[in-house]
Structure formats: C-alpha cells, structure tokens
Chain A
C-alpha cells in the first residue's frame, strides 16, 4: 500500500471545469484484495463487525457476475482502480481550516456560496472522505445528526449498525457488494421524531483523481413524523483514465415522515456512475427522489422505493441528458408492499450529439398491495440522427384491484413549436433552447433556486453544438 501517493492528474480540458493539484496523504494504491480492505478498515479504526462485513462483501463481490443488461461495462478494469485515498487526515469543522487547494475547488463549484445563502449545513465529500463538515446550530439543537458516515461510525456506531446494509445487502448486485467492501465517506443524516428540517441540507461530491473510485455510503433516516429535503450535487473534471463511482444510498422514511432526496450528477464523460439507491417508506410516509443525470460516460441508476406501510407514497422525478459518448441507463422501481400505496414516476431525457438515454423501470404490486395506484410518464427528445433511446418498463401486478397507468413518448423537437417561436422573432437556437428548458421545467421547478440556475447553465452549455 502506498502511504503517500503522488497522483498527478493529466489531460485536463478546460471545458470540463476546474481541477486541482491535490495530493492524497494516504492511499491503498491500485487494485483490491483482502489486504486492501483490511488497510481501509484499519486506517479508519473501525469496529470489528464492520471489517467482517467488508470482508464478507468482498467474497460476494468476487463471486457475482457483471450486470447482464444495459450499457457496455467491458472497459472498466476493476483491478486498476484506487479504492481508497484520503485527501486530508482530519475532518475540518470550519471553512477556514479546509486546505487551500481543496477549498479552491469547492469555491469554484460554489459550495460556500450555496451554503451562505440557502443551505443549513454542508458535508462536502472530496475524493473518498468528508473534509468539510458544518451543521447549523439550529438543526443540531433539534437533534439532527448530519455528518460523514465514517465519523458517524465512530460517534454513533449503534445507529450505523442498526441501518447499514439493511435495505441494500451486499448480495444485491456486484457494485453494491464492491461498495460494501470498500466504502468510504458518504453522508449520514438522522432526523428525529417530529422534527422538520425546514431548509434543504446539501452535500457536494467530487472526483479529483484519475482512476479514483468513489464508494460513498449514504444513510438517511427520517424518524416518525419528521421531514427533510436533502440535496446532493456531483461534478468532476475530465481525465484520460476512466473513473468509477459506485455509491450506495439507503433511505429509511418512518411512519408519517417525509423525505426528498435531490441529486444533480454531472460527472465528466470518463466516469462510470453505477449506483444503487433504495428507500423504504413506512405507513403514510412520503419518499421523493429528484434525480438529474447530466454527465458521466455510463450511468446505471434505478432508484427504488419499497412502499412497506399502508398509505405510503413514492415518487421519482428524473431527467437525463446524454451527449457524445454518453449512455444514461436510468429509471426507477416502485415496489408496492402494502394497501393504498401510491407511486409516480416522471422521467425526461434529452439525447444529443449521438448520446443514448434509456429508461428501465419496474412497478410491482405484491398481493398485499390492495388498491395500489401508480402512474408513469417517460418522455424523450432526440436532437439528432445519431442519438437513440429505448424504453423498458416492466409492470408486475399480483393484485386485481390496483391501477397502473403508463405513457411514453419519443420524438424530436416539435417543429410546430419551433415554427411558432421563430414566427415571434426568435432565432432557431434560442427557440430550441426555450423548448428544451420548457420540456425540463417539471424537474427544474422542483430544485432549490441555485440548482435550477446551475442546471439551466449546464444544459445550455452541453447542447451548444446541438441546438440551432
């Protein structure tokens, strides 16, 4: 294992945003074996049960095949990835304490600005661990726990043990197993009973070293009657070598609680983003995924909600933008396990410059899901002849009194709308842009204002060559 890495990023291109010359102070080097896992656990001073869990997951990882469906993953060399590196060896409580090089990166992507104006707390993940942690006093005083998962394991081991891996077992899929074996960083958020976090809680993630895998593990628990709006954004500079992001997110929404989990993902187009996200919604609770996928080389992400309590509601609102050499394979799963449960999926995708965006979803009503209702909408705009989109919904219904509705449309930009806008004096590029932003509006209007502005800028930037 390398105690000090001298990782030097290369092939930076201005159009992919800021990249900093950050030197990790600890790295397990390239590749994975049991020794790597033991080194990670040792470096974090973890309890034995977590090491046992990691080693068990590693065995599962080795025995599981790669996904048999979806995008081509053959170019990932899992033996050429750095599974753990630490950018700084202590957690910073104050912004002033964050190392300058790292701070520069966050400033460029706007974390402090966002925090100052709108956000209550921030645990920004840099490479593999949290380096900045700040929680507003008012939230803390309400008993909300918001910190990186590593720190939570030290400070609240019983809470982590109670929930870790309970929704997503290592055996769920190969990359969930890999995450469980080498996870590092991620966010832990606990909202006590009847506590309402009335401002969004935000975290930024960022990859900054080629071949650096990010395996964050996020746990969110919203206790009975509580509510929270959690926002997470991702952006990364571009590198010549492929990076892997294999996160696992587990969200527990207890009885009568509410949780919204908003993600904006803007990985550079050399990143494989293979994520497993799952939520459990108990009786009369509401879980909402708001999910934007704007970057990466390959994304495979199908956030799911297990509606386990009567009257629970789940929703998924997502957009995907796929440009050149990008394959967004996204969707959602709603598993209805209790009576009177409702779910909604709205998925919007834009493909340009030969990009591919596929929708893959599942609606399942088990026998117990009496009077369940579900509505699914998938809309895609293909901007050019080289772009493509497939829609693969599966509806597995074991009840006779449920209702399910599904609609999907694929088309190019409406010529009638273009014609109208041009007749009002707009040039074609502006008119196209306006139509695209209107198409995405159901998503953007759900975002905090800063994110909506950023998304607007990203979409326009990404499609500069496609419009007009």
Chain B
C-alpha cells in the first residue's frame, strides 16, 4: 500500500478545531544509518518460536508489517505516516492464532551511536494469542534525535500487555509514536515510562475497531532540568461495547515543562462505549511548569465518557502533618510524590485494569 503523505521534515501537533495543543515543534531525523543491537530473554524467544511465532529484526520495506494497511486506513496520526516513509528499522514480533506465551518477553533495543535513530517495533498478534512484553529503548550513545514507532495489530480476542521504558544518557530530541488497532474483544494494556532527557514529543494512538475491544494507556513521566515534554494520547472507539482508559501522571522538578493531552473519541455507531481519562501533574519546584488538556470527541449518545485533570503543587497541609509526625521536609515531600504516582505504578504492575 502506498504511503499517502509527502515527506516533511518538521513536525508539530495539528490544530484541533482551532486549538493548538503544543507550541513546540522540532525537526525530525530524515533517515538513520545508526548502528544498533537488540537482545531478548531466551526463555521467551524459545516459547514464541515453539508456538510458531517470530521475533525478528527488520531493515527495509514497510510491506513486512502485516496489518499496516489497516493501521494507515484508521490512523490520523501524521507522524506515523511520516515515519513510515523512511526504510523501517526495528523489530517485528508476531504470534500466530491461539499462541499464548507465558514468559514475558524482555526486549531491549540499544544504540551507542552519535547519529539519529529511527526504530519501529511492530506487534502482530493472531486470534486468541496472548503476550506480555517489557520493551526498553535505550539511547546509550550521544544520539541527537530519535524517532520510534511502537504499534501493530491485535486480532480477535488477543491480548497484549506492553510495558515500555525509553531512556537516554544525555539530552536528546525524541519523537515517540504509538499506533495500535484492536479487533473484536482484543485487549491492550500499555504502560509507558518515557524518560528520555531533553525534548520529547509523544503521539500515542489506539483504535478500538472491533466490538468489545479494550485498551488502557498508562503513562508516567518525571521532568528534570530543562526537559520539555509534550505527550498526546488518543483512543478512538469505532466498535460497539468498547472500553478505554487513559491515565497520565507527571512530577515536575527544576525547569522542566510537561504538557499532557488526552483525547477520547467515540465515533457514531460505537454504542455502549466507555471512555475515561485522567491526567494529573504535580509541580514540585518553582520554575517547573505543566499543562493538561483533556479532550472528548463524542458522536454517539449511548456512551459513558469522562475525563478528569489537574495541575498543582503538593498539599501544604499534608506536608505540615507529616512534618508534625517528625519527618524531615524532604522525606515528607517524597512520600507525597510517591503517593501521587502510585496509581500509575499499580496499573503498570497489573494490579488493576
């Protein structure tokens, strides 16, 4: 399938009905010749192979990505379409129908390059298949820019639990993209901890195309120094009886700036859909700044849709109470911060949802 958009080199968030969600934009890497490696735990690889699945490195055409036409047909993510115009480098994890992989796949992509990096990690899960993956994207070198797409297709009644950590050793410009399409009764639990330093622009999309499909997107971010972070998470409901949750939390230190935008979209015909979002930021230090923009786009009446958002400091009364119990200020503050982030870690650890 032809990629429909012309190549552009500058990205910025689109205007949504007159509202520009993130003012910052930066130049994306064109293509990458950076060297990189991957590793995974042998136990999971063996289990996937034994079930008829594969975990393989790709370096070339986008045609290798099964389900791509579906995704391109459903996504309005301009970054994904731009990303796929370059030769795709990365990993494909595919499972046939009814493959239930018990050991979690611990997959790490690492580069020590000084060149821009472009990675694609693509999941292709067959009917009734099940997989848990802990994915780490490690920019260990002096990578100036990275452009990573994590996406794929989940067939009927498949289940993907995905924990994604991204990290860099120095300040970089990172574009983190997500785009999944879920079929009937498929389930995606995706927890992200994007901790690359410097500038981070995230655009994470899930399309619930099949009846009864579900998705939960949990994201945590700590902002330090001059980090600039803008992350948009969007779950689009196309099928009936679909369910989604977006939970984003961030703690801001020093001069960091974090902007969360969450979008719940329910299209006409997606009756009995249930979409809820929660985005919260805690500003710990005086020069840190944060914004949250929760959006609902609802074209169906038989739905439950809501969002809650907040930005604020820790509660002074709670600090006072903890200090009155003998705790030093730093410890009291840390307890409140940990408590603030705890719901995301709990979701990440699979205790809820």
Q: Is A400 an interface residue when CB atoms closer than 8 A count as contact?
A: yes
A49 at the B interface (CB under 8 A): no
Partner of B283, one of A68, A401, A405: A401
For the complex, give the distance between the alpha carbons of A382 and B303 in Å.
9
- With beta carbons under 8 angstroms apart, the residue of A360, A400, A409 that contacts B289 is A400
Q: What's the least CB distance linking A206 to chain B, in Å?
A: 30
Please name 9 further chain A to chain B contacts, defined as beta carbons within 8 Å, in addition to the given A393-B294, A407-B309, sorted by A numbering: A358-B17, A391-B297, A391-B307, A395-B309, A397-B289, A404-B311, A405-B309, A406-B294, A410-B305
**Known contacts A409-B306, A410-B298; A395/B311 CB under 8 A:** yes
A396–B21 alpha-carbon span in the complex (Å): 10
Residue pair A384, B309 in contact (C-beta under 8 Å): no
Nearest CB in chain B: distance from A350 CB, A: 11
- What CA separation (Å) do A351 and B301 show in the bound complex? 9
Q: Is the CB of A394 within 8 A of B296?
A: no
A384 engages B19 (CB within 8 Å): no
B300 in contact (CB, < 8 A):
yes
- Separation of A387 and B299 alpha carbons in the complex (Å): 7
State in angstroms the CA–CA spacing of A394 and B21 once bound together. Answer: 8
A25-B287 Cα distance, complex, nearest whole Å: 63
Q: A410-B305, A411-B303 are in contact. Are A395 and B252 (CB under 8 A)?
A: no
Residues of A within 8 A of B286 (CB): 400-401
Q: A68-B18, A392-B295 are in contact. Are A412 and B301 (CB under 8 A)?
A: yes
Cα-based distance from A393 to B301 in the complex (angstroms)? 20
Q: Is A448 part of the contact surface with B, judged by Cβ < 8 Å?
A: no
Option from A67, A385, A391, A403 in Cβ contact (under 8 Å) with B310: A403
Q: Which residues of chain B are within 8 angstroms of A405 by Cβ–Cβ distance? A: 308-310, 312
Instruction: Give residues of chain A (299-355) contacting chain B, Cβ–Cβ below 8 Å.
Output: 351
A383 adjacent to chain B (CB < 8 Å): yes
Among the listed B293, B297, B304, B312, which residue makes an inter-chain contact with A411, where contact means beta carbons less than 8 Å apart?
B304
* Minimum C-beta distance from A413 to chain B (A): 9
- Contacts A405-B310, A408-B306 known; A392 to B291 CB distance under 8 Å? no
Q: Which residues of A contact B (CB under 8 A)?
A: 67-70, 351, 358, 360, 380, 382-385, 387-412
Q: Is the CB of B307 within 8 A of A408?
A: yes
A138 to chain B, nearest CB (A): 46
Interface residues of chain A: helix, strand, loop or mixed (majority): strand
For chains A and B in complex, what number of residue pairs have CB atoms within 8 angstroms? 124
Cβ–Cβ contact A400 & B313, under 8 A: yes
CB pair B292 A395 closer than 8 Å: yes
B5 interface residue, CB < 8 Å from A? no
A69 to B20, CA, bound (A): 11
Known A69-B17, A69-B19, A400-B283: A406·B307 in contact at CB below 8 Å: yes
On whether A407 and B17 interact (CB within 8 A), knowing A393-B294, A400-B285, the answer reads no
3 closest Cβ pairs, A-B complex: A69-B18, A382-B301, A403-B312
| Nearest Cβ on chain B to A171's Cβ, whole angstroms | 18
Contact of A389 with B298 in the complex, beta carbons under 8 Å: yes
Complex Cα distance A403/B315, Å?
10
Residues on A with beta carbons closer than 8 Å to the beta carbon of B16: 392
Partner of B302, one of A385, A393, A400: A385
- B151 in the interface (beta carbon within 8 A): no
Residues of A within 8 A of B298 (CB): 380, 382, 388-391, 410
Least Cβ–Cβ distance between B306 and chain A, in angstroms? 4
B310 to chain A, nearest CB (A): 5
Minimum Cβ distance to chain B for residue A231 (Å): 30
Contacts A383-B301, A402-B312, A412-B301 hold; do A389 and B296 have CB atoms under 8 A apart?
yes
Contacting pair B17 A360 (CB below 8 A) = yes
| Of B268, B299, B311, the contact of A403 (CB 8 Å cutoff) | B311
Is B178 at the interface (CB under 8 A from chain A)?
no
- Contact flag A391-B295 (CB < 8 Å), given A400-B286, A412-B303: yes
> Which one, A360, A390, A395, A401, contacts B313 given CB within 8 A?
A401
Collect the chain A residues with CB atoms within 8 Å of residue B48's CB. Answer: none
Closest to A383 in B: B301
Give the distance to chain B from A446, nearest Cβ to Cβ, in Å: 24
Q: Kindly report which residue of chain A lies nearest to residue B287, judged by CB atoms.
A: A400
A382 vs B300: C-alpha distance when bound (angstroms): 8
Whether A360 contacts B291 by the Cβ 8 Å rule is no
Instruction: Known contacts A360-B17, A392-B19, A406-B294; decide if A397 and B311 are in contact (CB<8 Å).
Output: yes
Residues of A within 8 A of B271 (CB): 385
**A407 and B291: CB pair below 8 A?**
no
Q: Are A406 and B308 in contact (CB under 8 A)?
A: yes
Contacts of A407 in B (CB 8 A): 306-309
Kindly report which residue of chain B lies nearest to residue A71, judged by CB atoms: B17
| Whole-angstrom distance between the Cβ of B19 and the nearest chain A Cβ | 5
